[in-house]
Amino acid sequence: MVLRGKFIVIEGPDGAGKTTQSKLLSQFLHSKGIKYLYTREPGGTKTGDKIRDILLNPESKISNMAECLLYASARAQLVNEIIQPALNEGTWVIADRYLHSSIVYQGMGLDLGIDIVEDINKIATTGLMPDVTFLIDLDTNTSLGRINRSKDRIESRGEVYFRKVREGYLNLAEKYGMIKIDGNKSVEEISLELIKNIPLK
Ligand SMILES: Nc1ncnc2c1ncn2[C@@H]1O[C@H](COP(=O)(O)OP(=O)(O)OP(=O)(O)O)[C@@H](O)[C@H]1O
Ligand SMILES: [Mg+2]
């Protein structure tokens, strides 16, 4: 029997260090001889990448509910095509964002409400939940200061929105058993904290 792979999610506000840490965690798993896949959201599949283009294009006109459903559609495709099959064959998955992002960015940030976003995402993901979820927490000034590329449609929302996002994550952390990590620490320190909490057995 093949052991199911572990599903690890890295969450946090824009610029908190999710992608940096996903890469370091990937290197660690590789060094242990563990087969893994890295996914980022929205996207990660051909269909999902098309949805990503619509979602992040500053020219797109999208209602709040349509935004929520588009994220959920991209995620449904990612779970169906990539994440669930990988886990079933024993491959680990490192996901750079998962449904927690929707609860925070759309449910709380856009005031759609937590319950409805949770319901939509339960359906979209067939209830698949991570084995471990990390929350890299970082104050809004610092995290926004780290983004120096041109901003996409979501990143163009003002500071008030991103404060709601940061607070939203902190409020959600306990309910979703997220392991909170201080994003002000050095890249190396954060990486060690992640590795310490990886369920190797
Ligand atoms: N612990 C850290 N200390 C200082 N700078 C960091 C740290 N972690 C990441 N950075 C830097 O901050 C920037 C954003 O990091 P990264 O792209 O990993 O964040 P992210 O959470 O993936 O952002 P996004 O949500 O926009 O994808 C990068 O330039 C990265 O080098
Ligand atoms: Mg990133």
Question: Residue 19: CB within 6 Å of ligand 1?
Answer: yes
183 known member of a binding site: no
For the chain, give every domain's residue range.
7-196
d(CA 129, CA 132): 9
Separation of 16 CA from ligand 2 center, angstroms? 8
Give pLDDT, residue 57.
95
pLDDT at 39: 98
| 69: its two tokens | 């459903």
Per-residue pLDDT tens over the stretch 126-165: 999 999 999 999 999 999 999 877 889 998 898 999 999 9
User: Could you read off the pLDDT of 108-121 as tens digits, one per residue?
Assistant: 999 999 999 999 99
The pLDDT of residue 84 is 98
- CA–centroid distance, 171 to ligand 2, in Å, is 22
Task: Output the CA 119–ligand 1 centroid distance in Å.
Answer: 30
Is the CB of 82 within 6 Å of ligand 1? no
Q: What is the pLDDT of residue 180?
A: 98
Q: Which ligand is nearest to the CA of 24?
A: 1
Q: Mutate which of 14, 19, 21, 23 to test ligand 1's pocket (most atoms within 8 Å of Cβ)?
A: 19
Atom 16 in ligand 1: residue holding the nearest Cα: 17
Q: What is the CATH number of domain 7-196?
A: 3.40.50.300
How many CA atoms lie less than 13 Å away from 115 in the CB half-sphere?
0
- Please enumerate, as own/partner, the contacts of 80-85 that have beta carbons within 8 Å and a separation of 24 or more: 80/126, 81/45, 82/37, 82/39, 82/44, 82/45, 83/7, 83/37, 83/39, 83/128, 84/126, 84/128
Residue 171 makes CB contacts below 8 A (sequence gap 6+) with 108
Beta strands 92-96; 36-40: pairing state: parallel
Ligand 1 pocket check for 12: Cβ under 6 Å: yes
| Mean pLDDT in order along the chain per 10 residues (201 residues) | 91 97 98 97 97 96 98 98 98 98 98 98 98 98 89 90 97 98 98 95 71
Is the overall model pTM greater than 0.85, yes or no?
Answer: yes
- C-alpha 132 to ligand 1 mean position (Å): 20
Q: Identify the CA nearest to 143 among candidates 172, 164, 166.
A: 166
How high is the pLDDT of residue 147? 86
18 C-beta closer than 6 A to ligand 1: yes
